[in-house]
Amino acid sequence: MEPVEVDEVASPALDEPVLIEGLPGVGHVG
């Protein structure tokens, strides 16, 4: 897992629930 991928998702994830699903753990929260 590269930290770059998380950073890209962490920023837009605030207003992009679709990107949150990309994560295995956060996807369940969204």
Cα 23 from Cα 6, distance rounded (Å): 9
pLDDT for residue 9: 54
- With beta carbons less than 8 A apart as the criterion, state whether 26 and 20 touch: yes
Cα 13 from Cα 28, distance rounded (Å): 14
pLDDT for residue 30: 45
CA triplet 20, 30, 16: central angle to 5 degrees? 45
Q: Which two tokens stand for residue 9?
A: 């998702």
pTM for the whole structure: 0.13
pLDDT for residue 24: 65
Q: Which two tokens stand for residue 4?
A: 């770059």
pLDDT digits (tens, 9 = 90+) for 1-30: 455 555 555 555 555 555 555 566 655 554
